[in-house]
A = this chain, B = another copy of it.
Amino acid sequence: MKIGIIGSGQLGYMMINTMRRYPLEFYVIDDNKGPSAFIADRFFDASDYREFVDSCDYVTYEFEHIDQNILKYADEQNKLRPSIKAVELKQDRSLEKKYLKEHGFPIADYEYSETYKDAFEKAKEFGKAVIKSCKGGYDGKNQYFVDINSKYEEHPDVPYVIEKFIDYDYEASIIAVRDVHGKFYHFEPSFNYNKNGILIYNISPVNNTLEMIDMAKRLMESLDYTGVMGIEYYVKDGKTIINEYAPRVHNTGHHTLTGSSISQFEEHILAISGMDAVNPELFVPSGIVNIIGTGIEDKISEILELGNTNIYWYHKDEIRRKRKMGHVNVYGKSYNDVQKKINIILDILYCGKIDEYI
């Protein structure tokens, strides 16, 4: 069976690496050669999307911001999984928010504007808010924090959503899977620590997750979704709201590579290729530390010596500030045990100066 992956970044890289042990072939398409282009069974340039889709049994994606032509053609051929709808909603933040609101999911108050000036004024009305361009922008890019002290600055007049700022207690996320038979399973949700809009580390399991699991199930059912989905939540005073969802494997799900009976990458490929998803089991608390803007070669032995650690290097072409170069999986007997190891790894990677890397 031939699985097509749109996008050649680290998520596709880990999909292929994890699933190499199945009788599957992996074809990758992108407009430039990211890490997974070099380990795919075949790489296609984006312009050859018809040949790519025609060659594959199923087509999935590891990135939402992709050429519409590929998506549409794969959808027409009835090969695209998860659905085109799930990714179209993600290509415009206002559509995602509207969908979530209309389907009764709790989200932060928000407004919509088509000019930056109007967006800025609406942000001021919220008191504290984040202005985000509707299209493009991830890892904190094209996002502007505004509060009562903010001075107006020029930004392009494009569609924006203005989200009321939630001073949340913490961010959490869930990785869930739904297969073609409608079977739903979920991994244990994780606590996520972000800085400057970039995930630094996370740990699973986190407490009080019944609402999260329920929302994930309802959202995936409402979209008649097939595959893995990542959903980010804000938790404030025990209340959970959805921040956003990702219609694919997710950066906060890499902890499933260790400590779990099956990883998010395996679940996704099983589900999108029509096989049964599997009920994942978490054996031990586990988490990750992202390796951002730095190398790892001279630090491997120090990290492995801690015990219960695994290195994941993404083989990107060059190390750049803010760029996710890899991650370290960590697991241990307790949540605190994992947290302690994560703190040590952060020290090994960033020597207390993480701001210089992100």
Contact A23 B297 (CB under 8 A): yes
Question: A2-29: contact bitstring with B at CB < 8 Å (1 yes, 0 no)?
Answer: 0000000000000001001111000000
Is A154 in contact with chain B by the CB < 8 A criterion? no
Inter-chain contacts of A23 with B (CB < 8 A):
295-297, 313, 315, 326
Question: A311-331: contact bitstring with B at CB < 8 Å (1 yes, 0 no)?
Answer: 111010000000000100000
Knowing A276-B304, A278-B305, A304-B278 are in contact, say whether A21-B283 is a contact too (CB < 8 A): no
Contact A279 B295 (CB under 8 A): no
Knowing A304-B275, A308-B261 are in contact, say whether A20-B39 is a contact too (CB < 8 A): yes
Contact among B20, B21, B281 with A310 in the assembled complex (CB-CB below 8 Å): B21
Question: A266-309: contact bitstring with B at CB < 8 Å (1 yes, 0 no)?
Answer: 00001000011011010110000000000111001100110110
Closest residue of B by beta carbon distance from A297: B23
Main SS at interface, chain A = loop
Is A1 in contact with chain B by the CB < 8 A criterion? yes
This chain: copies in complex:
2
The CA-CA distance from A310 to B17 in the complex, in Å, is 14
The CA-CA distance from A312 to B266 in the complex, in Å, is 12
Contact B261 A275 (CB under 8 A): no
Inter-chain contacts of A17 with B (CB < 8 A):
17, 20-21
Closest residue of B by beta carbon distance from A306: B278
Inter-chain contacts of A315 with B (CB < 8 A):
20, 23
Q: How far is the CB of A317 from chain B (nearest CB, A)?
A: 13
Contact A304 B21 (CB under 8 A): no
The CA-CA distance from A75 to B187 in the complex, in Å, is 48
Inter-chain contacts of A262 with B (CB < 8 A):
310
Closest residue of B by beta carbon distance from A312: B21
Contact A304 B20 (CB under 8 A): no
Inter-chain contacts of A307 with B (CB < 8 A):
261, 278-279, 281
The CA-CA distance from A295 to B1 in the complex, in Å, is 13
The CA-CA distance from A283 to B41 in the complex, in Å, is 34
27 contacts between A and B (CB under 8 A): A1-B297, A17-B17, A20-B39, A20-B315, A21-B311, A21-B312, A21-B313, A21-B326, A22-B311, A22-B313, A23-B313, A23-B315, A39-B39, A261-B308, A262-B310, A275-B300, A275-B301, A275-B304, A276-B304, A276-B305, A278-B304, A278-B305, A278-B307, A279-B307, A281-B308, A283-B283, A283-B284
Q: Supply 10 further A-B pairs (C-beta < 8 A) apart from A1-B297, A21-B312.
A: A17-B17, A20-B39, A261-B307, A261-B308, A262-B310, A275-B301, A276-B304, A276-B305, A278-B304, A281-B307
